[in-house]
Amino acid sequence: MSKFATRLLMLAAFSLALATAPVITAVYAAPDDNAPAPSTSTTKSKGKKKSEITPGSEYAAFANGYRAAYATIYDRHDYANAIEQLQALGHDDSAAVANLIGYSYRKLGDYQLSQVWYERALKTDPNHVKTWQYYGLWQVEQGNRDQAQYHLSRIAQLVGTDSAEYRSLAEALATPPGTGLVY
């Protein structure tokens, strides 16, 4: 094959890959940039043989469940149901899932459980920006402004001061203590 034909074939293959990319990335789109991919296990699941369960379909099911829980939290503000949905995913050990569980408990007013889940998320992924933001807001609500300031500095180190997470926590810290605002 000539050099030109080889390059043309490679260009066609690359173009085909780019054309199908939106279909592939739509499955992986998640509200949280750090949302986990489920691990592939060698065990049977719901009566199906391992050969019948593809990693793509397992991830698609996880992604759909994660998005549904996300909508339950942010669209319907049904935090108790969201906790159940997130725990049903079977990925409590992921920072993204643990963070949303912590957020839901915080919104329900259970600050102790919320703290447990935020710390679990940060133990799993110390660079999970959303957890630093939400746990920082938790600190503001608890009156721990110095700790919230530390969380703000961690966000700045990880993603800079132009991020939405940084701006959100900085705005919360800028409000006077005792205003009764809940974030």
DSSP state of 94: S
* Model pLDDT, residue 32: 60
DSSP calls for 6-51? HHHHHHHHHHHHHHHHHHHHHHH--SSTTPPPPPP-SS-BTTB-GG
DSSP-derived 3-state class of residue 150: helix
At residue 136 the predicted structure's pLDDT band, cuts being 50, 70 and 90, is very high
Taking only the tens place, the pLDDT of each residue in 27-38 is 323 346 555 554
Largest CA distance in the chain: 75
- Please name the residues in contact with 140: beta carbons below 8 A apart, sequence gap of 6 or more: 148, 169, 172, 173, 183
Task: Read off the pLDDT of each residue in 87-97 and give the average, rounded to a whole number.
Answer: 94
The pLDDT score that the predictor gives to residue 59 is: 85
The predicted pLDDT at position 121 comes to 97
Residue 48: beta bridge partners? 45
Give the pTM: 0.71
The pair of structure tokens assigned to 70 is: 């996300």
Distance of CA 82 to the CA centre of its chain: 14
Which residue ranges make up each domain of the chain? 56-114, 127-177
pLDDT at residue 154 above 60? yes
Q: How far is CA 56 from CA 19, 29, 42, 134, 172, in A?
A: 19, 13, 15, 30, 40
The mean pLDDT of 154-169, rounded to a whole number, is 97
Q: Distance between alpha carbon 9 and the CA centroid of its chain, in Å?
A: 39
Q: What average pLDDT does range 152-161 have in this prediction?
A: 97
What is the pLDDT at residue 96?
A: 96
Burial of 36 (0-12, 13-18, 19+ CB in 10 A): buried
- Check if the beta carbon of residue 147 is closer than 8 Å to that of residue 114: no
- Residue 21 is predicted with a pLDDT of 43
More confident residue, 11 or 74: 74
Q: What is the pLDDT of residues 29-88, one digit of tens each?
A: 334 655 555 444 434 344 444 445 566 778 888 899 999 999 999 999 999 999 999 999
Nearest Cα neighbor of 62 from 78, 41, 84, 39 is: 39
Residue 152 has pLDDT above 80, yes or no: yes
